[in-house]
Amino acid sequence: MKKKGISLLLSLFAFCFLRAETKTNSVSDSLFLEGKIKYLTGDYTQAIKDFSAVLQFNPRHTESRLLKATAEYNLKMFDAAATDFGKLVEQDSKNFIAWNMLACSEDKQNKIKEATKHFKKSIALNPAYIEAYLNRGLMERRLKQSDKAIADFSAMLTIQPRCENAFYQRGWTKYEKGDSAGACADWTHIEDPDDFENSEKMSSICKENK
């Protein structure tokens, strides 16, 4: 009889635990969906609050962490974004997207050494991930590291031969290096230059270069 009482008590405890866990998961799922809707409509501040609440229930909720970090990045909260992207790569060291965004967040804080290391990590994990080459190339261009930037924009074209943004960025990098002819040769691959900034200046440079 005593054993039956203990067994009944354990069963009751398990049932209550499962009900509490189910309720927690339900609240967490609801908050995540609310946060995702706010994120998709551009309400990043409120989305961050919802994702933070989800992460209190489940600190390893990867999608909440990713969207929270991206929302922080979009709001130029680069230190907070770097912290969350850092937690993501701690959870999943093969998440090349998180490594890339961690590097972007560090670049925005002028942490060039860390950003360079983490862009390299993202590319090592996925050599075909074009965004990492683009972001690293933009950082290198800004730092006047023209040869490195040109190499990264060229790598983008190896992966995606008709990538107009790669031609655009490589062209401007060549121009800034003093190679107007090379710049214009790249810009000829852009079907509609008006889709990009400084199209009138590009046209003027190339007219002068003829």
**CATH number of the CATH domain containing 171:** 1.25.40.10
Q: What is the pLDDT of residue 26?
A: 73
| Residue 18 lies inside a defined structural domain of this protein | no
Q: Which residue has the higher pLDDT, 210 or 18?
A: 210
Per-residue pLDDT tens for 50-59?
Answer: 999 999 989 9
112-125 and 130-142 are packed helices; what angle lies between their axes, rounded to 10 degrees? 160
Structure tokens at 48: 């961050």
| Residue 73 lies inside a defined structural domain of this protein | no
| Residue 110 lies inside a defined structural domain of this protein | no
User: What is the band of 7 on the pLDDT scale with cuts at 50, 70, 90?
Assistant: low
Q: What is the pLDDT of residue 29?
A: 87
| Residue 164 lies inside a defined structural domain of this protein | yes
| Residue 61 lies inside a defined structural domain of this protein | no
Residue 181 structural domain: 127-210
| Residue 138 lies inside a defined structural domain of this protein | yes
Number of domains in the chain: 1
Per-residue pLDDT tens for 46-103?
Answer: 999 999 999 998 999 999 999 999 999 999 999 999 999 999 999 999 999 999 999 9
Q: Indicate if the pLDDT at residue 5 is higher than 80.
A: no
Per-residue pLDDT tens for 29-38?
Answer: 889 999 999 9
Q: What is the pLDDT of residue 25?
A: 65
| Residue 134 lies inside a defined structural domain of this protein | yes
Q: Indicate if the pLDDT at residue 6 is higher than 90.
A: no
Per-residue pLDDT tens for 107-148?
Answer: 999 999 999 999 999 999 999 999 999 999 999 999 999 999
| Residue 103 lies inside a defined structural domain of this protein | no
Q: What is the pLDDT of residue 209?
A: 80
Q: Considering the entire predicted model, what is its pTM?
A: 0.84
User: What is the band of 20 on the pLDDT scale with cuts at 50, 70, 90?
Assistant: very low
Q: Indicate if the pLDDT at residue 3 is higher than 70.
A: no
Q: What is the pLDDT of residue 121?
A: 98
Q: What is the pLDDT of residue 14?
A: 45
